[in-house]
Amino acid sequence: MAFVSFFQVFLALLCFLFLYCFRNKHGPPTSFPIVGMMPELLLNVHRIFDWHTEALERCHCTFLFKGPWFAKMDAVVTCDPANVHYIMTSNFSNFPKGPEFKQKFDILGDGIFNSDLDLWKNQRTDTHGFMRNPQFHKFLFKTTRDKVEKGLIRVLDHVAGRGLMVDLEDVFQRFMFDSTCILFVGYDPRCLSVEFPEVRFSKALDEAQEAIFYRHVWPQSFLKLQRLLNIGHEKKYKKAWEVLDEVIATNISRRRKELNEGSVSEVGEDGVDLITSYITEEKSASLECDDKFLRDTILNMMLAGRDTTSSALTWFMWLVSKHPKVENKIIEELESKIPAEETGKRRLFNADEVKDLVYLHGALCEALRLYPPVPFQHKEPLKPEMLPSGHPVGPNMRVLFNLYSMGRMKPIWGEDCSEFKPERWIKKQGGVKREPSYKFLSFNAGPRTCLGKGVAFYQMKTVASAIIYNYRVHVSKETPVVPTLSIILHTNNGLKTRMSSRWD
C-alpha cells in the first residue's frame, strides 16, 4: 500500500512537472493532442479566475480555448470591450443565451436570465413595469430601512458588544435574503438575527451555484455519468433543486391563500411585492402567471437579489478595511450630508441622503470592477461571425466573457488597474464618471442591461453607510480572503471580522 501511495504521488508530480515545462509562457494555454487545454485547466482550476487573467493578458484580451476532442468545449475567451460591445449591443440578435446556457442553468427554468426572444422580452417588459412602479420604490425604501435598523444593526451591536467574530459575508447574505423575500414574495423569513438560524434555501442555492460552475469545467459525458450514478456535484445539484422547489412552492401557496382569503390586501400601505403584483394582475399581464412561471421568476430574482448584492458588499467592505484613507473619505462625505449637530454620533441614512453620495458610489463601482459578482458569462452565435478581435465564432461554439479579468487589464483600465481607487469614477469637476457598459460589465450591457441596477446601488449604499459610519471593521488576518469556485464571486472562507462601535 505504501508503494502504491508513493507511486501515485510520484505520478502526480511527474504530470505537474511535464505541464509546467511545456506550458506556453507567451500566448494561450498549451493545447495537447486529443485532450486540448484540459490538463492545464484542471491544474489551475483552484485559481481559474487568475489563470484566465494571465492568459488573456498574454493574448491581448482574447484567446481560443481548445477542449478535448469531441467534447464540444471549444470557446473564445475574451475580455475585449470591442468584442463585448459587438456581441451585447451591435449584433445582439445573433447572440442569444443559447441552448447550452439553458442546459447548464436548467434550475432557473424559463426565468428572465435563462430565456430568449419573445419570452425574454415579455418578462423584461413586465419586470421593468413593476420596478418602475412608485409602490415598489416605496416598499423598497421602507423594507431596506427596517431591515437595516431592526436586523443588521441589532446583529452588529450584538457581536460588537460581546467581542465576537462574525462572518460579514454571511450577514450580508442573510440581509439580502430577508430583503429579497419581502420585496418579491411578501414574506420575511427573519434569517438576519442574533441566533443565526440555518437557512435551507441559501445553502441549497450555494450548492446549486457550485455545481453549475463545474458544469463549465467538466465535459458533458462526465456530467452525464455523475447524473446517471447520482454522485458528485450533480447529486448535490439534484438535492438542492428539490429544496428550492419546496421552499418556493410553500411561499407561492401561502400568498395565493392569503390573497383569496383577503387576509392581505393587493396593495398594502407600504407598497406591493412582486408575487402579489403578478397574481393580482394576471388577467392583464402578457404572461401566464401559473405556479411554474412564479417559481422560475422568484428563483431568478432571489439569485439576483441575494447573491450578487451580498457578494458586492462583501468585497467592498474587505477593500475598504484595507484602505483607511478611502474609509475616512466616505465618512467625511456622509458627514457632509447631515446637520453639524448630528455628526459624531450613531446615525442611519435615508434614501435622499445616500442618493447623491459621489465618493461612496465611486468606491462601490471600483469594488465591482475588481470583484464583479458574476465573474463570467457566455453567449452562443446563431450564425458564423468574425469578432472585432479577429476570432471567428460559429454555432455550437461559446463566447465566454471574463468580467473578473476585464477589471485587471492594463489596456482597458490603465497601468494602475490592480489598485483600488474610487477616484477613478469621479470627474475632475465633481460628479460620478460614467464608463461604457461594455467596459464595466457588472450590470451587463445592451438590451440585457440589469433592471435592478438602481435597486442594488440603493441597497448597497444604505448598508455600507450604516456600517462604515457607525462601526470599525477589523478583518481577521488569519483567514485568507479569496474567491470560491462558483458562478457567483463569493469568498472561499467568508469575511471573518470583529466589529467595534465607532462613536462609543
Sketch out the chain's domains with CATH numbers.
1-84+373-406 (no CATH), 91-372+407-501 (1.10.630.10)
* Res. 315: pLDDT tops 90: yes
Residues comprising the chain, all counted: 504
Burial of 279 (0-12, 13-18, 19+ CB in 10 A): middle
| 370 backbone dihedrals φ, ψ, rounded to 5° | -80, -35
Grid cell locating 149: 435598523
Is a pLDDT exceeding 90 seen at residue 435? yes
- Statement: residue 487 has pLDDT above 70: yes
> Has residue 19 got a pLDDT over 70?
no
pLDDT tens digits for 381-424? 999 999 999 999 999 899 999 999 999 999 999 999 999 999 99
Q: Give the confidence band of 17 by pLDDT, cuts at 50, 70, 90.
A: very low
Cα Rg of the chain (Å, integer) = 24
| pLDDT in the model for residue 78 | 97
CB 496 within 8 A of CB 479: yes
Q: What is the largest CA-CA distance in the chain?
A: 75
What confidence tens digit (pLDDT) does each residue in 180-215 have?
A: 999 988 889 999 999 999 999 999 999 999 999 999
β-pair partners for 77:
63, 400
CA distance 61 to 389: 9
Measured from the Cβ of residue 377, the count of other Cβ atoms closer than 10 Å reads 19
Cβ neighbours of residue 103 closer than 8 Å, sequence gap 6 or more: none
Number of Cβ within a 10 Å radius of residue 284: 6
Cα separation of 501 and 418, whole Å? 31
* Model pTM score: 0.91
For 36-85, what is each residue's pLDDT tens digit? 999 999 999 999 999 999 999 999 999 999 999 888 889 999 999 999 99
Check pLDDT > 90 for residue 269. no
pLDDT value, residue 264: 67
Distant-in-sequence, close-in-space partners of 18: CB < 8 Å, separation ≥ 6: none
Give the bridge partners for 271, in sequence order. Answer: 268
Using the predicted structure, report yes or no on whether residue 277 has a pLDDT greater than 60.
Answer: yes
Q: Mean pLDDT, to the nearest integer, of 442-455? A: 93
